[in-house]
Chains A and B, each alone.
Chain A
Amino acid sequence: MKQKYLPLTATILIFVLSYALCVMQFPNMLSTRVIGNLLTDNAFLGIAAVGMTFVILSGGIDLSVGAVIAFTGVFLAVVLEQGGLHPLVAFALALAITTAFGALMGAIIHYLEMPAFIVTLAGMFLARGMAFVLSIDSVPIKHPFYATLKGFYYKLPGGGRITLIGGLMLLVFAVGIMIAHRTRFGTNVYALGGGAATAQLMGVPVARTTIGIYALSGLLAGLSGIVFSLYTSAGYSLAAVGVELDAITAVVIGGTLLTGGSGFVAGTLVGILIQGLIQTYITFDGTLSSWWTKILIGLLLFAFILLQKGIIRLSRVERQHA
């Protein structure tokens, strides 16, 4: 097997094993309901994590994701409750704003040669601050269209539901996989992660690609915000704190190298599912504190970082003996 598939295989194996363990203890967990809920509950995180995967593959990071999700939620709530716009128009507006916001951060990162960490940290404060400017309260969304949207679902045999937002997440992953592996933009993202200077020498349009990556991350953060507002039917400026870190965690557990250049969008989906699975298990158990989610995910993340280090060292040794 090729070495680059090793982390992804490990992730899938861990997911299958832990799901099997869960089912052994709680046979009820093996139902389409649980799977449907797993998708629905993690839809907003999954969509944001697709954008984060591209950012990390290129060797960057985007810390603004959680704040952008909160901003989008508050923006939708305020616009819908006060403006009387149709939600679809409001969605389009929100996506335009967050995409432009991401593109702007990408442009600053590229043209001012600033570290992505700092630029997106500033973006995080800015987006969160803008959300507070719009409203400091939790604003409920009562638009009838929201109810209509929530009514859409695909019924699985066994009573489970693929909701609109769960399905949307799967669609976003499918499109993300196509973009990563079947477009020139996708290859350019990997190229940037392999080495920006070399990529430039080989003719990769570095400026366009960098701006595109952060614009994509902004777009998906916006979409994630829409999904989050559908999920919670409210907009609150303190919502989704730290979601960017959960997204990064999913990306890394999904087998993407934090230094960039290697990984798969599909792995991120498994990373999301593992996180969701741990949460579901704790809900089923009922006695464990929810902090166990964080502890387990922390350990898992640590194990994956060790695994990545091990693989890198192994490939170096192999090359020396080649």
Chain B
Amino acid sequence: MHSTSDNILSAVRIEKGFPGTKALDKVDFQLRRGEVHALLGENGAGKSTLIKCLTGAYRRDSGSILLDGVEVDPRDTFDAQRLGIGTVYQEVNLLPNLTVAENLFLGRQPRRFGMIDTRAMNRMARELLAEYELDLDVTGDLASYSVAIQQVVAIARAVDLSGKVLILDEPTASLDAHEVAMLFRIVRRLKARGLGIIFITHFLEQVYEISDRITVLRNGQLVGTRETADLDRRDLITMMIGRELADEIHTHHASAGEGRLRYRFRNYGRRGHIEPFDLDVRAGEVVGIAGLLGSGRTETAEVLFGAHRADSGTAEIDGRAVDLPSPRAAIRRKFGFCPEDRKTAGIVGDLSVRENIVLALQARRGWTRPISRTEQNRLADHYIRALDIRTADREKPIKLLSGGNQQKAILARWLATEPEFLILDEPTRGIDVGAHAEIVKLIESLRERGLSLIVISSEIEELVAYSTRVVVLRDRAHVAELDGERITAHNIVEAIAAANEGGRRDGDR
């Protein structure tokens, strides 16, 4: 190894496998003293697996970890903490019902004659927090403070306990711009003290603001480590999404302007979820939604469907104002929504294919008007045939089907309600290539039948293939819209990467 002296932490050829997958494949990672090192990658890239191997939460299969040049083998997170590696998670892992001082010194309270010396503990807590520019009542319950303050208390505790390496796992996800600025001041101060800081986030703005170097993982493999100053946004996104961005031909047939304008959302949004956006959807149109993880894609879908009620703006269907306070209301307006995580939010695993297919239709009709068994069988058989769902028979529990066939069954569920507005969140994630092509074909045919579709996908080529329009999201705001010939993979990546137009999270708020 070269120059171990300024590396405070080195991970060498870390491997970790889970049944069926290789979560980390010989990943190298170096953290210098006094640097902020951003660790980036899309969902399932291996970021959290790497962190868990470093902190002992997982046992790695092979590879070595050097801390200050000495090989270490943390057995669990306490062990890692004793060695000097502290972690702060997005969900503050402190106890809301204890005071700030108790949280800071839990398990190591100063004692006199066997009793806790509360006064000394509170004084130490105030002194410790003064280093973080916090002057607050340390005898108050932690729950009475904002998440940002709790986050700083968690950092103070972690640094006080470990003191060499600080891992921040999405610490800014629920903070506003002002709070992020405060957090970054603290991070810079710790950096000046010589700590090595690993920063995980999906806000690229913040990566450029705070980090010195960037390491990108993809599918459990190291893509590379770069100096932040030398890596432009476009190259970074290419590293993360990982495609050779050939400008392929845009293959769709209909242009955006053909169908009748049906759905009109104005200034629609929800605080803390998605910035207000305008969206028009025509009949026979597929609006693709592109953006990195955490850019607000799913949040957009949930607000449109009423799963999270919009707190600003208006919705119109065919020129009439409508209210969409809940999924039930949306379903009554002939909306459908296939969520991203079909295992937890989509299928009901123990019910049969037939029952899963009729679920949404029955929900819309209400329990007083049951669908007859004959009708259920007819519907199930129809969609099993129409969508080519591969199942031995319609009574098979759906959990026994493959991912692609489950996805088709959920599509069938919504098609059975004869929706006019269908939202698909990552319809092709985790399914095999054959099923993938069929679902893309299905989206095409639904569009031809005059449905309005919103499709969210991280597969940019896929969006290019079927979208008549693409909306690009960044940092929980709609930042660009592409249509017609402008829908190319190249343009989408450019739009995701574009630094300074609109929607800056920490700019104008």
- Size class of the B contact interface (CB-based, 8 Å): 20 to 34
A138 within 8 A of B: no
- Whether A187 touches B116, Cβ cut-off 8 Å, given contacts A2-B140, A203-B107, is yes
B116, closest chain A residue (CB): A182
Do A187 and B102 contact each other (CB < 8 Å), given the known contacts A193-B97, A194-B96?
yes
* Assembled-state Cα–Cα distance A178/B140 (Å): 20
Question: Number of contacting residues on A, CB 8 A?
Answer: 27
> For the complex, what is the distance from the CA of A57 to the CA of B118, rounded to whole Å?
20
CB nearest neighbor in B for A318: B144
Contacting residues, chain A, for B118 (C-beta < 8 A): 181-182
* In-complex Cβ contact of B107 among A3, A181, A198, A204 (8 A): A204
In the docked arrangement, what's the CA distance between A201 and B143, Å?
Answer: 18
A171-213, CB under 8 A of B: which get 1 and which 0? Answer: 0000000100111101110110111001101111000000000
Q: Which residues of B contact A195 (CB under 8 A)?
A: 95-96
For residue B12, CB closer than 8 A to chain A, the reply is: no
**Pairwise interchain contact B98-A2, C-beta atoms closer than 8 A:** no
Smallest Cβ-Cβ distance to B77: which chain A residue: A201
B115–A183 touching, CB < 8 Å: yes
Map CB proximity to A onto B92-109 as digits: 1 under 8 Å, 0 otherwise.
011111100011001101
Task: Check B106 against A191 for contact (C-beta < 8 Å).
Answer: yes
Question: A4 touching B109 by the CB < 8 A rule?
Answer: no
**Is residue B372 contacting chain A, with contact meaning CB distance below 8 A?**
no
Residue-by-residue, is B131-144 near A (CB-CB < 8 Å gives 1, otherwise 0)? 00000000011011
Interface string of A260-273 (1 = CB under 8 A from B): 01100000000000
Q: Nearest CB to that of B114 among chain A residues?
A: A183
Given contacts A184-B107, A201-B77, A202-B106, whether A3 and B97 have CB atoms under 8 Å apart is no
B109→A184 contact, CB < 8 A:
yes
Residue of B nearest to A205 (CB): B107
- A193 contacts across to B, CB distance below 8 A: 97
Tell me whether chain A's interface is mostly helix, strand or loop, or mixed: helix
B265 at the interface (CB under 8 A from A): no
The reply on B78 being an interface residue by CB < 8 A is yes
In the bound complex, CA of A162 to CA of B103 (Å) = 40
- In the complex the two chains form, what is the Cα distance from A191 to B93 in whole Å? 12
A262 adjacent to B95 (CB under 8 Å): no
Chain A, residues 1-12, CB within 8 Å of chain B (1/0): the string is 011100000000
CA distance A187 to B94 in the complex (A): 13
Q: Please, which residues of chain B bring their CB within 8 A of the CB of A290?
A: none
Asked if B95 and A199 make an inter-chain contact with CB atoms under 8 angstroms apart, the answer reads: yes
Contacts of A183 in B (CB 8 A): 114-116
Any A CB within 8 A of the CB of B344: no
Interface residues of B in 115-156 (CB under 8 A from A): 115-116, 118, 140-141, 143-144, 146
Closest 10 CB pairs of A and B: A194-B95, A261-B97, A194-B97, A182-B115, A203-B107, A182-B116, A201-B93, A191-B95, A262-B97, A202-B106
Q: Would you mind naming 26 contact pairs between A and B with Cβ atoms under 8 Å apart?
A: A2-B141, A2-B144, A3-B144, A182-B115, A182-B116, A182-B118, A183-B115, A183-B116, A184-B109, A184-B111, A187-B98, A187-B106, A187-B109, A188-B107, A190-B97, A190-B98, A191-B106, A195-B96, A198-B95, A199-B95, A201-B77, A202-B106, A203-B107, A315-B144, A319-B144, A319-B146
